[in-house]
Structures are given as structure tokens and as C-alpha cells.
Amino acid sequence: MRIRAALAACFLFVGTAPVFAQYTHTAPSDDGIGIVYMGREIAHVMGHEGADWLERPERLTQEQPDRVIAAMELKPTDVVADIGAGTGYFSIRIARKVPQGSVIGEDIQPEMIDLMRENVTRASVGNVRPLLGSTEDPHLPAGTVDKVLLVDAYHEFDQPLEMMRGIVRGLKPNGQVVFVEYRGEDPAVPILPHHKMTVAQLSSEMAAVGLHLVRRYEELPWQHVLIYGR
Ligand SMILES: C[S@@+](CC[C@H](N)C(=O)[O-])C[C@H]1O[C@@H](n2cnc3c(N)ncnc32)[C@H](O)[C@@H]1O
């Protein structure tokens, strides 16, 4: 009886998958915050002071945004949410691919939202809506989004379970979540370890919110493109 009560306190059921809901703590690594979720230490948030790095010209060859967007298989009418959108680097490019749809560019840093607004105005795209979220809720309207994109962002979420529940709530029934993450399996990828992700780790974390891997694109120099659905 006591064991059953202890298990009930430790586990939370989301959809069909049991989820160990408690975050644990460890001594912070150089690039981590000391909070551990499903065996993974969460990375530091990239501050808005580093925003120029997101707009660096080399990014076109290093991260190949056009190929990422092609892998998303967008329709012109799609509603897309770019979560952890930073300066809107992807939001603006996607907006041009969904002329009859729209893009929500969400981030938790007001300074990033300001930079995104400036970039959206400069790019003259009328279908990007910058949105300030919180670390536990992206504030997406329920059941409205065709595709969610998270580029180099998920590993920074300090409450990933709560964020993913909010993202799943925002998806249409056939909606998909597209992750672009530096390959954690490859030590040669020149990125700090907690800013990378393995497919096995991400798939375990997505199972916790009822998502499974439906497609992957592995033609980028350093990153996985992993597409999850219900
Ligand atoms: C490395 S930047 C990537 C920005 C953008 N996706 C890009 O590729 O240009 C990570 C972004 O995720 C944002 N972020 C971190 N935690 C977040 C959370 N819980 N919810 C939304 N955004 C978050 C940060 O503020 C930062 O702008």
C-alpha cells in the first residue's frame, strides 16, 4: 500500500505514457543549470546579448535554414509556431512560405521579442506575430497550430515537460513538432555538450507527452531535424 502511494506521488500520467514528473538537481556544469530532466541536465538560456550570433552570415552554410524549412513540408495556408524564436531568423523565412497562413514567433526574453519586431518590420512580412511566453507556457491558442518549430531551443527550456504540454495543447490533431538540435551522438559537432541532444533522449522526452518520431532529415552538417506527431 505504502509502495503504491509512493509511486502515485512520483509518477504523473500524461496521455498513455507514465511520466516521472519531478526535476532533480545536480551541481551545475559549465553550460548547464543544475536541473536534470529524464537524465539530461538542462542548458543555460542564450541571453539576448548574444542575438547577433543568431544572425551571423555563416549560419546559412552551417545550419542551412532553407533545407530545414523544406524538411518541414509546409503548406501555404499553415499556421506555424516558432518557439524560442529569438530574433525571428526562422519565423521570417517561414512567413514567406505560408503566405495564406501565419507564424507565431514566441520567446521568453522581451528583448528578443523587440529585436524580432524590428527584423519583421525590416523584412516587410505581415504574417508574423511576435509573442512573449513564459518558461512554463508558450501561450499558444489551443488546437490551432499545424507545425511547431524549435531550433536550438528545447534543450534550454527549464520546465520542458510543462512547455511541451502547452505545445501539444496548441497543436491541431494532425499537427507536428519539428526539432532542430545539434547532434548529441557526435563529439565532433563543435557545440557545448548540454546544448546538443541525442535522438534517443528527445524521443523519450516526447513519449512523455504522447508524441513519437514520424520523420527525420539528416542532411545538415551538424544538426538533426526530427519531426514528431501524436
Ligand atoms: C539559441 S536561441 C535560438 C533562437 C532561434 N530559434 C534561432 O534558431 O534563431 C534559443 C532561444 O530560446 C529561448 N528560450 C529559452 N527557454 C525558453 C522557453 N522556456 N520558452 C521559450 N523560449 C525559450 C531563448 O530566449 C532564446 O531566444
Over 70: is that where the pLDDT of 52 sits? yes
pLDDT at 19 over 80: no
Output the CA 6–ligand 1 centroid distance in Å.
Answer: 36
Closest atom of ligand 1 to 112 CA is: 27
Q: Is 140 close to ligand 1, i.e. is its CB under 6 Å away?
A: no
108 Cβ inside 6 Å of ligand 1: yes
Q: Which residue type does 86 have?
A: G
- How far are the Cα atoms of 85, 160, 169, 194 from residue 35, in angstroms, in the given order? 23, 11, 25, 11
Report the percentage of the chain scoring pLDDT > 90.
Answer: 90
**Is the pLDDT reported for residue 13 higher than 60?**
no
Domains and CATH numbers, the chain: 48-229 (3.40.50.150)
10, pLDDT greater than 70: no
Which residue(s) pair with 35 in the sheet?
25
| Mean pLDDT (whole number) for 185-193 | 97
Q: Which amino acid is at 126?
A: G
Q: Residue 7 pLDDT more than 80? A: no
C-alpha span between 183 and 222 (Å, rounded): 6
Q: Say whether pLDDT at 20 is over 60.
A: no
Q: What is the DSSP string of 199-224?
A: HHHHHHHHHTTT-EEEEEE--SSSEE
Q: Which uninterrupted H or E stretch holds 95?
A: helix 89-95
Q: Whose CA is nearest to atom 10 of ligand 1?
A: 153
Judged against a pLDDT cut of 50, whether residue 17 lies above it is answered with no
At residue 22, the pLDDT reads: 82
| CA distance linking residue 218 with residue 182, whole number of Å | 11
**How many angstroms does the Cα of residue 86 sit away from the middle of ligand 1?**
5
Give residue 229's Cα distance to chain centre.
14
The pLDDT score that the predictor gives to residue 12 is 39
Cβ–ligand 1 contact at 107 (below 6 Å): yes
**DSSP per-residue string spanning 134-190:** BTTB--PPTT-EEEEEEES-GGG-SSHHHHHHHHHHHEEEEEEEEEEEEETT-TTS-
**Alpha-carbon span 222 to 213, nearest angstrom:** 19
**Which ligand 1 atom is at minimum distance from the Cα of 158?**
19
Ligand 1 neighbour 153 (Cβ under 6 A): yes
Amino acid at 38: M
Say how far apart CA 180 and CA 165 lie, in whole Å.
19
To test the pocket of ligand 1, the residue of 37, 42, 45 to mutate (highest count of ligand atoms within 8 Å of its CB) is 45
Q: Is the CB of 54 under 6 A from ligand 1?
A: yes
pLDDT for 21 equals 58
Mean pLDDT value across the chain: 92
Ligand 1 centroid to residue 156 C-alpha, Å? 7
178 CA to centre of own chain: 8
Tens digit of each residue's pLDDT (9 = 90 or more) over 123-176 = 999 999 999 999 999 999 999 999 999 999 999 999 999 999 999 999 999 999
Confidence of residue 8 (pLDDT cuts 50, 70, 90): very low
How many angstroms separate the alpha carbon of residue 127 from the centre of ligand 1?
20
pLDDT confidence of 179, banded at 50, 70, 90?
very high
CA distances from 38 to 17, 76, 217 (A): 14, 37, 25
- Closest ligand 1 atom to residue 89 Cα is 9
